[in-house]
Structure 1
Amino acid sequence: MPTVFHHSGFRFFFYSNEGDPREPIHIHVMGHGGEAKIWLDPVKMSRHKGFDFRTLRTLSRIVEANAQRIEEAWHDHFGN
């Protein structure tokens, strides 16, 4: 599970096996007792568990602010 970055106690990461065929670019988030999967384009929750709506909004904003970084890490790890 390659970690892309940490932010405020959350870990943003990919699973090494992201499906076959591979799903569109997304990021997984764990921390503070919850877990989420967030699509990158557009930034949208795929699924979540254990986070309140305020935290989900915060996570979406973090993903938006780091979208380029996430996309670059995705391509570095999985290729184009």
Structure 2
Amino acid sequence: MPNARYTGNLMPAILKIGAYRFFFYSNENNEPAHIHIQRERALAKFWLTPVSLASSTRFSAKEIRELQRQVEKNRTSLLEAWNEYFKS
């Protein structure tokens, strides 16, 4: 997993799986830990504790299920990246 410290980046990319980019916005530290996932113009947001879908646009139900599996699989690394970026 890449280092989550991206000085000045408004959307630090944490993980890339195929066409999916996992990232968070640098100004969202006032919200509970979460991750955004983008593929082209489709976007989803998942809470990390516990893993649950917060919002989604343009993803099919099948894609959402697969994205949730990926978030669950990578949850520890995603939380570490969140904490490293926002707690520093």
User: Structure 1: 5+ residue runs without aligned partners?
Assistant: none
Give the Å deviation of 1:32: 4.5
Moved more, 49-58 or 28-37: 28-37
Percent identity of the aligned residues? 41
Matched residue SS, 1:54: helix
Q: Which string of whole-angstrom CA distances, capped at 9 and with x for unpartnered residues, describes residues 21-58 of structure 1?
A: x1111000000431001001111110000001000000
Amino acid at match of 2:28: E
Moved beyond 4 Å, runs of 4+: none
- The match for 1:6 is 16
* TM-score for both structures, normalised by structure 2: 0.84
Q: How many residues matched?
A: 78
Find out whether 1:70 has 2:88 as its counterpart. no
| Gaps in structure 2 of 5+ consecutive residues | 1-10
TM-score, normalised via structure 1 length: 0.92
Partner of 1:30: 38
Structure of greater relative contact order (alpha carbons < 8 Å, 6+ residues apart):
2
